[in-house]
Amino acid sequence: MTVFPTLPSGKVDIKSLDLSMLGEFLSSIDIPSEKALRIYQAIWQKHIRNFSEINTISKQDHRKLEQTADIYFLERHGLFPSIDGTQKFLWKIPQGGVIESVLIPESDRPNGYADRLTLCVSSQWGCAMRCSFCLTGDLGLKGHLWASQIAGQIQQVSQTLQSNQRITNVVMMGMGEPLHNYDQLVIALRTMNHNCALRLSNRKITVSSVGLLPALLRLTREIPVNIAISLNATTEEQRRAVMPITKKYSLRDLLDTCVTITKLPNQRGRRITFEYVMMKGFNDSLEDAKRLTEILKDIPSKINLIPYNENPDRDILRPAFEQVKAFQTYLVSRGWYCSIRTTRGIDISAACGQLGKAFQIIKQPT
């Protein structure tokens, strides 16, 4: 018998059910499972807060749902706008803490019109991976987010947008290691993609991971989303120094798994993005760039260079722009697609590796 996730109220967390689970749940409370689609749509597209607002089911169904389930919404704890247009949303969660989502308008046009609105979504409160350059890792793992909280970040940020705007891309790069919260991630990904829910193409969803290999293989077989790997090093020793996960899954095994992934039918025609946080004097030399081309030569890939965002809690330095540019030029000259990530939201601690610093922000939430 399926055990349905519950909220602190003891009632079922209906937004943590995918469509097929919802059908099963309805059957268990004597509502025909064929009504699942209408209820799913009302919850995710009409944003109902009470079951009585669903006018496509009977009053008797409303009562059964009210007695057994709740519609959970994240509690907004603050909104911080950056001078560059980025917005950081803080959400208070019943597990006891605050999590963050970052909305990033991006433009390829000279007039600055935002043609992409990317939401960086959290999957956990804190993180167990403890990558040494990342402030979220300092928190340790405080809790896994529910599927309703992961997909809910997209739904609730969307509700703050103007009618002619919509979130175009989702990156699972906020707080946490998404694959460490596998079951809830997968339910949330189904909700993001479903036509009667958040309607985001899987091609517009990217899951970023340090490389929890069994879960990575499982996900890429199950759902055709884009994959990004937080790489940050070119040798075993170097990666172990900043990413403790390398002690469990070696760099060699990670690269071999990536080769396997790119051959899966689900991933055909796609490239894995390798994220490379550049730290001065650690991994920013041209020897590193050369090794990078050697270790990635068998993997259809893109490289995203992320110059380290300096902060008072670390003595890691950001390389000079010329160094980053030289690194990129080396890779591009050898045929790699390589971009440099623009730092966004640095004034609101929303840039890469800074999430979780909410309590140290001096501005007051609006």
- Residue from 100, 127, 177, 338 carrying the catalytic annotation: 100
Distances in Å between the alpha carbon of 284 and those of 86, 245, 290, 317? 27, 21, 11, 11
Which pair of structure tokens corresponds to residue 76?
A: 């907004």
**Which of 43, 76, 69 has the alpha carbon at shortest distance from 191?**
43
Task: Give the distance from CA 261 to its chain's centroid.
Answer: 19
Positions touching ligand SF4 (CB under 6 A) are 127, 129-131, 134, 136-137, 175-177, 210, 230
Q: Which residues contact 120 (CB under 8 A, 6 or more apart)?
A: 101, 102, 103, 104, 171, 173, 174
Q: Using the CB atoms, write b or e for 237-246: b if 16+ within 10 Å.
A: ebbeebbbbb
By beta-carbon proximity to ligand SF4, the closer residue of 122 and 234 is: 122
Count CA within 13 A, CB hemisphere, residue 12: 21
352 has catalytic annotation: yes
Active site residues per annotation: 100, 352
